[in-house]
Structure 1
Amino acid sequence: MSDVENDRRKRKKEGTWDPTNMRKAVEKVINNEMSARQAANRYQMPRTTLNDRISAIKRGKEMSTEPLMGRFHNTFSLEHEKILVEHVKDLGNRQMPLNRKKILYFVFQLAEKLKLPHQFNKEKKSAGKNFYYSFMKRHSDLSLRTPQSTSLMRAVGFNRPQVARFYECLETLIQRFNFTAYKIWN
């Protein structure tokens, strides 16, 4: 067996340390009871990860002791995302559906207003396509459409007196010809 294979076998899988051990190691180093190297060896975790957590805490940031793998993390919590989905659905139900560009702008504005850390494009003031595709994958019940404009005559004709007149005519026709509900279209 080669040295490279032995090194691979000895290495622990990334992100497998225990969060309670991370907390203990950070406390020991911050209280000057151990060096970072000693704490990393004793609590079986990468020294660089321990140093990252310690330096973030010293800068005043709040750091998670959970293993975080990868560079990208969700911007919104489950609660925020649920509110976002409900709002998009509500707008669609009110005949104001959002298209892709508008929802990405809206998501950026929401992250800014909530002061959430994000990696969205600040110049374009928009979330990116990666967010869009993963968001739509998580919420496959959403359908974003491009709103179509209503003609001026149709918009003018849709008012309370016109609608009331339509239903009065419909009621008289139903009474005159005895239509059943399944015979009425549009």
Structure 2
Amino acid sequence: MPFKWIKKTNRLPVSPDRMKQAVKEVVDENCRLRTTANKYGIDKMTLRRYVMKYKKSRDNPGEISYLPNYKTRQIFSDSQEKLLTEYLLTSSNMNNYGLTTKETRELAYIFSKENNIDVPDNWNKKNMATYDWLRGFMSRNSNLALRKPEPTSLSRSTAFNRHTVQEFSNLLRCVLESNQYGPEAI
């Protein structure tokens, strides 16, 4: 399945007011579905779906939303994605690196299992979320940046040894004793 869907038609989205008028015309005035769809410039199957929705909830018509629902395939709700985002930001602040993309995908799978959320079968095969889910999640949460941490240079890692740390501590002690700094100055 491609991640970015390329639109194959030049059809524009239908405004909720126009969709509501078309549904009322089909249901209340007994107009033909196909004729009404052509009149309002709406796809006939889309209009049919909204008419069926209207007929099912005839006793409570205020409950129907005439806005298109693009979040039908979204795994987590907005509040759950916010929790994941907060956790990722907290973990990055705690250890300067945060989680890698693979660790984030594994975390999403564990999060879904702990919250009894239905996931696609390919999540269960690899015990992690798909890369497409991660790309969508990152596009919805632009305040996140998952990057591979840079490796520490060889000179920095070899310079961090017992002798150098002890030498630094001795120099620091000498400076603190000679200048008589109090605890508020450190």
**Could you tell me the TM-score, scaled by structure 1's length?**
0.52
Structure 1's 81 and 169: CA in aligned 2 closer, same or farther, altered over 3 A? farther
Instruction: Identify which of 14, 25, 35 aligns with 2:22.
Output: 25
CA distance in 1, matches of 2:173, 2:41: 82
Give the structure 2 partner of residue 176 of structure 1.
177
| Counterpart-to-counterpart distance in 2, 1:102 and 1:57 | 44
2:88 is equivalent to residue 91 of structure 1? no
Match of residue 133, structure 2, among 131, 134, 159: 131
Give the SS at the match of 2:104: helix
2:145 — aligned with what? 142
For 1:51 and 1:118, the matched residues in 2 are separated by: 29
CA distance in structure 2 between the aligned counterparts of 1:101 and 1:81, rounded to whole angstroms:
17
Q: Taking structure 2 as the reference length, what is the TM-score of the superposition? A: 0.52
**1:47 partnered with 2:44:** yes
Tell me how far apart the structure 2 counterparts of residues 108 and 30 of structure 1 sit (CA, whole Å). 44
Counterparts in 2 of 1:118 and 1:179: CA distance versus 1, 3 Å: farther
How far is the alpha carbon of 1:122 from its aligned partner? 4.3
Q: Is the 8 A contact 2:22 2:37 kept in 1?
A: yes
Q: How far off its partner does 1:30 sit?
A: 4.3
- Cα drift, residue 28 of structure 1: 3.7
In structure 2, give the amino acid aligned to 1:143. L
The CA RMSD over aligned residues, in Å, is 4.5
Change (3 A) 1:141 1:18: closer
Match of 1:38 in 2: 35
**Aligned length, in residue pairs:** 146
Opposite residue 18 of structure 1, the aligned amino acid is S
Distance 1:109 1:27, change over 3 A: farther
